[in-house]
Chains A and B, each alone.
Chain A
Amino acid sequence: MDKPGFEILPQGVDGMIVRFAQELDEAANRRALSLAHDARQFAGVIEVAPGLASTFVRFDPATTTRAAVVEALHRVAQQGELPVVNGRIWHVPCCFAEPYAPQISEVASLAGITVAQVVAEIAEADLRVLAIGFQPGQPYLGVLPQHWNIPRQSGLTPMVPAGALTVAIRQCVLFAGPSPTGWRMIGRTGFRCFDLGAAQPFALLPGDRLRMVPVGTAEIDGLLGDPMGGARVIA
C-alpha cells in the first residue's frame, strides 16, 4: 500500500483504479467518492467512477500519460477522514414474502438470525448508496453489520428480475434490470433505478439512503406497474 492507505493499480492500457481498502469500509467509500469528484478535473481524464472502496480513472493516452495522471491522483488521494455525504432519503416498498424472497431462509441461516429478523434488520437499516454500477443506475447499498458478511454464491442464480433486492458481503444490491447473479434474493420492489423516459433517468446518487418498507405480496403486485414501484423521496 502507498501511504496513507491507498494504492494505484493499472487496469488496462488506458485505465487504473485507486484502491482505498480491500474490504468494504465506509471511510474508504467516502474517500473513493471524494477522489472521483477531484479526478474529473484532471486534463486528459475521460472517465471517472467512484466505487465501493476504489475509484476508476480512464485517460486518453493521446493527450496525457499514465505518469501524469498517477501523479495528480497522488496529490489528491492523501486526504484523511472525509464527511459523510447525506443525500435524499427514499422509502421503497419491498415484499419479503414468497414468491419474491426465494433465498431469505438461506440468508437467515448464513447470517445466524431468523427470517423475521432479516426483514426487521433490513427495514430498520439506513441503506446508503455506496456506489452505482454493474448495470445502469443500480445501487450497491450498505453497510450492514458484520453478521451480514455472507459470501456470494459460487454458482449463479440464472435470473433475478428488475427490482430484486439481493444481499452479500454486508451489502444489498437492488437490481436495475433482470440479470444472472451470485447474490441471494430476499425481496422484491417495483423501483426502477434506470428509466430513460424519466426526467432523471438515473434515479439514485451516491449518498442517497433507502429505507425498505415491508409490504405484502398483493401490494407489491399492485406496485410493479408503477414507474417508481411506490418509492418516494421523503427528505
Chain B
Amino acid sequence: MIKLVAAGPGISVQDAGRPGYMAQGLSRGGAMDPSALAEAAALLGVWGAAIEMLGGGMTIELTQDGQIALTGGVRRAVLNDQPLGWLAAHPVRAGDRVVIAAGDGAAYLSHRGGILTEPVLGSRSCHGTAGLGQPLSQGMTVPHGPASPSAAVGLPPRHLSGVVRVVAGPQTDDFDQETRDRFFGTTFRRSAKGNRQGVQLEHAGAGFEAAGQLTRVSDFITVGDIQLTGAGIPYVLMAECQTIGGYPRIGTVIEQDLPLIVQAPVSAELRFQMIALQEAEALWQSPAALCRAYGRQVQPLLRDPAQMTDLLSYQLVSGFITGDEEWL
C-alpha cells in the first residue's frame, strides 16, 4: 500500500485514460502529461497507472519494499531525510516516507508493482468532470502490486523550451488571416486558471474572434485544441475537455508539445507556431516508441550519500524548481 499521510490539491490516479467513449460524450481523460507515463515505463520496465500531482504535493508512506519512479514536472522530493533525484526510479523499503513538494505543472509517482486501484469503464483514471473515480486525499491508501527494491536508475533532464507547435484544424479558416497572424505573433502567458479540462492563456490586447462564432453548429473537440471563448480568450484544452463545443478552435497543439503547456509555471511565456500536418506526422511517436527512446537513456544512479547533492543539482538543471517552493 501507498498511504497518503498528507495530500495537497489536484492529486489523482491516472493512466492512459478511456479511449472509445467519445460517442457517449466521455472524453479520454488520463494523464495530463502522457510522456511522463512513458518515462516511468522506461525507468521501471513496466507500464502502469501513476499518481498525478497537478500543483499539489504529498507525503506518502510505503508499507512494503518496492521501487517507485518520479517523472513529469520536476519537484523537490525526499526519502526519509535523503533528497531524491527526479526523473528517476528509487528503491523503497517498508516504512519509508517520501515527501514531494507542491509545484507547478504535473508530477507523477509510479510504482514498479503497478498502481492497482479498481478500474472503472476500463481505466483507473479519475475523470473529475465525469465523476469517475475520486481525487486522492489525506488518509487514503493506494494499492499496488509486489515489486523488489531494484537499484536506482535515472533519465537525463527534459528540455522543455521552445515554441509550441500547432496544426490547423476544422475551424482554423474561420479566423481571418489578420487574426491568425496576430495569434501566432503574440507572446502569451500561462494563466493561473488551469485544470484537467484546460489551461487559460493571457495576453495583452484584443481577443481573437472567428466569423459567426455564436451561431456555428457545435463540433468535436480533441486534446490540444486551442479554443477561443466568446470573449476571444484562448484556452488549450486538456485531458478532461468536453467532447463537443461551439466555440471555435484556431488549431491543435501537437502531442509532443503539450508538456510545454502542462508543465509551464504560471506566468511563463508561451508562443505558438503553425506547422504543416506532414511535419507533425513525421514527429509523431507511439507511446511504445517514446518509451523505447527514453529506455536508451536510462542510466544507473548511485545511492552514495556523498553524491546525492550533486545528483540533485544535476536533476534540477533544466527544471522549473527555484528552491523556494512551498511544501504542500
Contact = CB atoms under 8 A, between A and B. Distances in A.
Residue among B130, B246, B277, B281 with the most chain A CB within 10 A? B246
Interface residues of A, number: 54
Nearest to A9: B170
Contacts of A21: 217
B220 interface: yes
Contact of A19 (B170, B218, B230): B170
Given A51-B220, A138-B25, A177-B131, A154 B214 contact: yes
A69 interface: no
A49 B23 contact: yes
Contacts of A153: 214, 230
Contacts of A151: 214-215
A21 B218 CA distance: 11
Nearest to B224: A12
Contacts of A53: 217, 219
A53 to B, nearest CB: 5
A24 B216 CA distance: 8
B167 interface: yes
Contact of A11 (B25, B222, B254): B222
Interface string B17-34: 001111111101000000
Interface in A63-81: 66
A136 B286 CA distance: 27
Contacts of B121: 196, 201
Given A13-B277, A13-B281, A49-B243, A24 B252 contact: no
A17 interface: yes
Contact of A156 (B19, B216, B222, B230): B230
A42 to B, nearest CB: 14
B165 to A, nearest CB: 10
Contacts of B26: 135-136
B317 interface: no
B170 A169 contact: no
Contacts of B281: 13, 61, 66
A169 B215 contact: yes
A187 interface: no
A63 B284 CA distance: 13
Contact of A22 (B21, B131, B217, B280): B217
Contact of B217 (A12, A24, A135): A24
Given A132-B25, A138-B25, A11 B243 contact: no
Contacts of B25: 132-138, 176, 194, 202
Contacts, number: 155
B319 to A, nearest CB: 27
A111 B82 CA distance: 68
A135 B218 CA distance: 13
Nearest to B173: A9
A201 B231 CA distance: 35
Interface string B246-277: 11000010110000000000000000000001
Nearest to A202: B24
A51 B167 CA distance: 22
B229 A49 contact: no
A191 interface: no
Contact of A135 (B130, B222, B246, B289): B130
A54 interface: yes
B231 A154 contact: yes
B94 interface: no
B169 interface: yes
Contacts of A23: 217
Nearest to A28: B217
A232 interface: no
B255 A133 contact: no
Given A13-B284, A132-B25, A137-B25, A51 B244 contact: yes
Nearest to B230: A154
B45 interface: no
Contacts of B289: 62
A5 interface: no
A-B interface, 7 closest residue pairs, ranked by CB to CB distance from nearest: A133-B244, A151-B214, A154-B230, A56-B220, A49-B22, A49-B23, A62-B286
18 contacts: A10-B169, A10-B170, A12-B224, A12-B252, A17-B219, A19-B170, A22-B216, A23-B217, A47-B28, A49-B23, A51-B244, A131-B244, A134-B25, A134-B218, A135-B26, A140-B218, A196-B120, A202-B24
Given A13-B280, A61-B284, A62-B289, 13 more contacts: A11-B170, A12-B222, A17-B170, A51-B219, A53-B217, A58-B19, A133-B218, A135-B242, A136-B25, A138-B25, A140-B244, A196-B132, A201-B121
